[in-house]
Each structure stands twice: as structure tokens, then as C-alpha cells.
Chains A and B, each alone.
Chain A
Amino acid sequence: MSVAFAADSIRLTGDCSVEEAETLLALLQENATASIDIKDCGRLHMAVMQVLLAAARPVRGDPANAFVREWLVPQMLTSIY
């Protein structure tokens, strides 16, 4: 359960709780062009999810969590509302 910046992407690892939203937001603000790597992420809290949707950055990875993979990743890919 961590959010960290490495190379050119922000990597989400494990279950991301409400606290991770603030860290994620700060990293997004500091790295204006960073993409998101969700390959190893677990559950996502709505607070984290809405930051990802608002940021609309390129998302990479095929997470193991079925709900995230099947229902949330498509939202991130089409978050152009």
C-alpha cells in the first residue's frame, strides 16, 4: 500500500486507502507529465479513484484485482467527461 514516483511514472502498489489520495495528488501536482502505473495495485478507494479520473493521465498496467481491472480501468481510459 504505497504511492511512489519512479522514473517517469507514479506507481500504485497494494490497496490504496483514502490517505493515499493526498500523496497521489501531491505527486501528480509535482510531476505534470507523469503517467500512472497500476500494475501492482490492489483495491482503490474512491478518494484515490477520483484523483486519477480528474488527472486524466495515461494509465499503464493490468492489475490483478478483478473489480479494478474490469470496471475502473475502463473508466480511467475514458475519463474525458
Chain B
Amino acid sequence: MDELLSQFLIEARELIAQAGDDFEGLARDPADSARIDSAFRAIHTLKGSVAIFDMAPAGRALHAAEDVLDRARAGRHRLGPSDVDALVAVLDQTDRWVDAMERDGALSSRAGAQADALLARLQSDIARPFEPPAAETPPWLPALLAREAAAIEVAVSDLVAFRYTPDSECFFRGEDPLATVAALPGLIALAILPNAAWPAIDEFEPFQCLVTVEGLSAAAFDDVRTAFRFVTDQVTLFSVTPATPAETQTAAAKSLRIDTARIDALADGVGELIVANHALAHVAAEADRVDPQIGAQVRAAHAAMERAVSGMGRSVMAVRLVSLGPSLRRLPRMVREITATLGKAVRFEVSGESIEVDKGIADDLFEPLLHLVRNALDHGIEPGAVRREAGKPETGLLRLAVTREGDQVVVALADDGAGIDTARVRATAVERGLLDRDAAAALDEMQAMRLIFAPGFSTAATISTVSGRGVGMDAVKAAIDRLGGRVEIGSVPGQGTTIRLRLPLNAILTRLLIVRAGGERYGIPLDRIVETTSVPTEHIHDVGGGRSCVLRDRALPVLSLAALLGAEDRRSPFTKLLVTENAAEPVGVIVDGFGQRIDGLVRPKTGLMAGVRGLAGTTTLGDGGVLLVLDLAELVA
């Protein structure tokens, strides 16, 4: 994608989010002047940005929205609820237009008509001609900036560029343009320019003003405007922000946009350092055998290195942390669209969106979350009439809350709808052939609820266009699994459903448990392991084609890791079991032994290994050996 466009997409969405926040505030208090100001600035900047691209309809709609806000700002118009609704509609449409630019690189042919509809809603003074924002940078400015580059370079604050073209008859009215300029505060550059080539001195007309005065002032914009107050019709002012060179960046420039690929490279480097440092522990043990004194020195060096490296790791992770806000802020618009389609009234509340997560998670969370939101609006929250009969408020409530719990982020989506009807879930699962009637009846409530995450399940009797066919809740679970997260579900019939997504804050290093099987060592991501235990071998029975054992009064299917990997099982009186989950059901996996827990940088499998089933990737051990990291879910499936 062209860099200008990708930059635009980022900035436009930030501005849309900002304006969206402000409109939300204005919906509560339409007279909030700080909100009006902030929304005006966001819309104004957005209008300027869209002008760079072939987005004229967006420019028109935003111009009208800006006009409404500008009049509200000047106190010439009192914003009402219908104004705020219309402004939100413009913003939502702009968001869709931005999506279209990303997808198609152009607006659809209907954009013009859509803009017209928005203009009608805004009731703005459409007769006022639309000035393209490009014209807002005055044509005289570039020459001035070039001429006064030296003065701008040493400027430390915003400057005001002015161009004063005195009326040619002004001398007759007793005006002295130079006296006005002499009284300007903060003058840092001045040029007196002839309006046309200077006439020969013999033909000079001394009582006509033939010049224009241009310059820069370091004073505040309003002060400069005040100095020119008697000649406002002859003066143009423009605010100029000096571009600060990098080496003199001060508090003014605190943030920096960096390509995430560079951060990833940095994170990879830190990961390699951690692994390299593991090797040092090994060296320390070796050195200990030869000379304990050298061993102690190496150990001390290792410890110092470990502190430094883990500090670095934390810094890199912190760089990758981004607020969830930008990913979540598109949801309110989606909720408005979906509820409009469904004809339901739903209030959508978001909290905790400022919590920061790894960028990878923030990017990949939107799709599954949108699916959950759709599902809650479509299947969870009942139609108004049904709610009224049930004695609930007719307007449904959907609440998205982001919280931090230790090293996890919990994204909870709660609706106050009908809740999950587990009897119907069981019936549907049986109907779809996911399990038989007895097995369904044997499931406890929680297990029955989790059936909605099974592939090929959908609880709605009719599949509506909103939730769509094709993608089910299983896709949501798969997406969250990929992020190293878990999905939890809770539901009270008649009161609503809450779905919690638990996601790791740290996506760079994976906690691994080293296990032995078939004479080899393997790494297994700790987040895949429910528990590790040891059972008497005689308690494992052959049942039909497979094996099972009873663990805490529950039958557990058991598989052998060695057998899964095509090796021999080792027999011993006690069998070590690792319990994992397959399709929300616990499964026991027999291993020969458990090793240490390590933090490893898991590299995706490449080349020949790419096709190997059950392999998640590889990581490097402290002794330089390569550890195969297993994808348990794939192995036991």
C-alpha cells in the first residue's frame, strides 16, 4: 500500500475515534464547550486529510459537520440531540469511507448520494460554497517560509505568518501600514514587497500604497490579530509550526511512530539474548567442575546479564504495548448498524479501553470480538416486545469491559439478554450429530454451554444475516487460542450471558514445559497444559480402541505422546500424565517424564518442518540444542 495512504488510514481512524469520543460526550451534554472544541478540531483535521485523496464526498460531509460545530463553537447555534445524531452519522459514514479506501483504494459510486443524504440531515448552510481545504494553506505562504527559513529554524514555538496588503488608497485615510507593523508584538521576520515591479522613479505615484508586507511573529495568534484589528480586511494570518530537527527534540516531541517490523526485530534480538544467556548457566556449571572460583565468576556474570536482558525484554514489550482503544472504537458504530438492521434498541458501554496489550493481540482481537458482539445482539438480547413481557427495560444493555488480572488481560462482553438455554444447546448438539443423547445429558451445565464453541454449532433456530452462516463461535475460540488466550462463558437464563476472553499480556516469550517421550525431549506451551499428574499404570484401562483412566471421579481419555510421535511407550509402575483440553474436553497425554520450565522464543516451523503435523515450532535450549515445540491441540485432535 502506498505509504501516504497507510499513514492516512492510521491518522484518519485516530481522528474518527477522537471525534467519536467527543460526540459521545456531547450526546450526554450537548453544551460541553470543551467537547465541541475538540470535535471541531478533529473534524477539521480529518477534512484536511481526506482532501489529499479522491474523497470529495467525504470532504463535503465533513465540511458541513465542521460548519455545524463551528457555529456551535461561536455560540450561534445550540446543538440538539438530532444534531449530535447527524454528526455521528457523518462520522460513521466517514469511517466506512475510510474502510473503502483501505479495501478498494476508492469510494464507491454511491458515495456522492450518501454525502447528500448526510448534508440534508445536518441542515447545515449548504448554500455556503465549499472551499477545498487545499486552499487553506495560502498560496503566499511557501515563498515566505522559504525566504524566512533561517528565522523559522531558530524558533522554539508556533509562529504566526502574516500578509498585509494595504489598500492602495490607505494613505489618504491617514493610515500608516508601517506604524501598524512597528507595533506588532514578537516580530521575527519582515519583508516589504512591491505589488508589481517598482515603477521608474520618474513615474512614481507617491500617495498610492504599492506594497505588501509579509512576515512572522512569535507572539500568540490572538495578539497578532489584535495588533491588526483596524485593518483585518487587508490582513491574512496563518499559524506556522516550526519543524523541530531531531537533535533538538525536547518535551514537545514525545512520541514516535515506528514500523512494527522494527520492534519485532528488536524483540527477536532480545529473545535470542535470553537464549544465549541460558547457555551461560550451562558454562557456569561446566566451569564449576574445573575451578569453583571461575564457576562463581561466570555465575555472577550470568546473573548480571540476566537482569540486564530481562530489563531490556520488558522495555521492548512495553514498546509493543498499545492501548486497546483504537481497536475497540470501531465497535460502537458496528453496534449501531447491527441494532438498526435487527430493529432492536441496545445501549453499548465500553470501559477499560485504555488498557494496553501487545500489538499483536490488539490487532487480532477485533474480528473475534465483533463476532461475539454480533452474536450477543442477534441471539442474546431479545426483541423489545419480548423484553417488555419479561419485565425488563425495553432497551438492551451490552457492556464491554477490559480489565487487567496479573499478567492477563480480560475482555468481558456481557449482555442482559435471554441467557443460554442449555436444554436447547444440548438438543441442537445432538441434532447436529456432535454427540449422542446420553453424552449430552451427562454434560454439566458449564460443559453444555461450552458446546456452542464446538465446530458446526449455532444455537439460533434461524440463521440471520447479522451473525452470518459460515463463521461460528468455534472460529472465535480458534482465534483466541491463536492469541494464546482462553474463552470463558457464563450465563444465567433470563438475565444474560457474559463471555470472557483471557489474553496474555506478553506474547513474545512462551512459557514451555520440557517433557520426555520416546527418548526425546519436547517443549509444550504451558498455557496448553491444564495439569500434570502421575497415576498408577494399572489404573489405565484399554477401552475399545483407546485407553482411559479415572481422574478425580471423571473418566479421561488417555493418549501416549510417544505413540503419537511414532515411538515406543516406556512401561513403569507409575505413569506420568499431562492433562490438556481438546474441544473443551480434558484429555490425558502420557509422557515419560517432566523436565524444567523455560521461557522460550518459539520460532514458527519453516521449510521441511512446515508440513509436520502436531509441531508448533522450535526453540533453542541453553546447551545450544534445538527443542521441538509441540502443538498439543493438533496432536490429540
**Chain A residues within an 8 Å CB radius of B193:** 81
- In contact, B178 and A46 (Cβ under 8 angstroms): yes
- Closest chain B residue, CB of each to CB of A56: B198
State whether B190 touches A71 (Cβ < 8 A).
yes
User: Do the beta carbons of A18 and B207 come within 8 Å of each other?
Assistant: yes
- 9 closest cross-chain pairs (CB), A and B: A54-B198, A21-B206, A46-B178, A67-B182, A46-B177, A71-B190, A25-B206, A22-B206, A45-B176
Chain A residues positioned under 8 Å from B194 (CB to CB): 50, 53-54, 81
Tell me, in angstroms, the Cα distance from A21 to B181 when the chains sit together.
Answer: 19
Contact A53 to B211, CB < 8 A, known contacts A43-B179, A71-B187:
yes
Also in contact, A46 and B166, with CB within 8 A (given A22-B206, A51-B204, A54-B204): yes
CA distance A29 to B177 in the complex (A): 25
CA–CA, A43 and B181, complex, Å = 12
A18 to B199, CA, bound (A): 19
The answer to the question of A59 belonging to the interface, with a C-beta cut-off of 8 Å to chain B, is: no
Asked whether any CB of chain A lies closer than 8 Å to the CB of B120, the reply is no
**B150–chain A nearest beta-carbon distance, Å:** 13
Minimum CB distance partner of A26 in chain B: B206
List of B residues within 8 angstroms of A24 by Cβ: 206
Q: Which residues of B contact A75 (CB under 8 A)?
A: 190-192
Q: Report the Cα distance A29→B191, complex, angstroms.
A: 25
The distance in angstroms between the C-alpha atoms of A47 and B175, with both chains bound, is: 10
Chain A nearest CB: distance from B388 CB in Å?
A: 76
| Neighbouring A residues of B171 by C-beta, 8 Å | 18, 45-47
Min C-beta distance of B214 to chain A, whole Å: 11
Q: Which of A28, A45, A49 interacts with B201 by CB under 8 Å?
A: A28
Q: Would you call A18 and B176 a contact (CB within 8 A)?
A: yes
A19 → chain B closest CB, angstroms? 10
Q: How large is the interface on B (under 10, 10 to 19, 20 to 34, 35 or more residues)?
A: 20 to 34
Q: Which residues of B contact A (CB under 8 A)?
A: 166, 171, 176-179, 181-182, 187, 190-194, 198-199, 201-202, 204, 206-207, 209-211
A58-72 interface bits toward B, Cβ cutoff 8 Å, 1 = contact, 0 = none: 000000000100011
Given contacts A44-B178, A71-B190, contact A50 B209 (CB under 8 A): yes
**How many A residues have CB within 8 A of the partner chain?**
24
The smallest C-beta distance from A76 to any residue of chain B, in angstroms, reads 9
| Given A46-B176, A49-B178, A50-B211; A29-B192 close (CB under 8 Å) | no
Q: Which residue of B lies closest to A54 (CB)?
A: B198
Check A47 against B207 for contact (C-beta < 8 Å).
yes
With A21-B206, A47-B171 known as contacts, the answer to whether A29 contacts B201 (CB < 8 A) is yes
Contact A55 B187 (CB under 8 A): no
B210 CB contacts on chain A under 8 angstroms: 50, 54
Cα distance A69–B258 when bound, in Å? 48
- A57, B338: Cα distance in complex, Å: 77
Chain B residue numbers with a CB within 8 Å of A81 are: 193-194, 198
Is B198 touching A47 in the complex (CB atoms < 8 A)? no
- What chain B residues lie within 8 Å of A49 (beta carbons)? 178, 192, 211
**9 pairs across A/B with beta carbons < 8 Å?**
A18-B171, A22-B206, A24-B206, A43-B178, A47-B171, A49-B211, A53-B198, A53-B211, A71-B187
CA distance A71 to B192 in the complex (A): 10
Contact B190 A21 (CB under 8 A): no
Determine the distance from Cα of A81 to Cα of B191 in the docked complex, in whole angstroms.
Answer: 10
Contacts of A55 in B (CB 8 A): 201
Residue of chain B at shortest CB distance from A24: B206
Tell me the minimal C-beta distance from A35 to chain B in angstroms: 14
From A22, A46, A54, A67, give the contact of B199 (CB < 8 A): A54
Known: A46-B179, A71-B181. 9 other contacts (CB 8 A): A22-B207, A24-B206, A43-B178, A45-B176, A46-B166, A49-B211, A50-B209, A50-B211, A51-B206
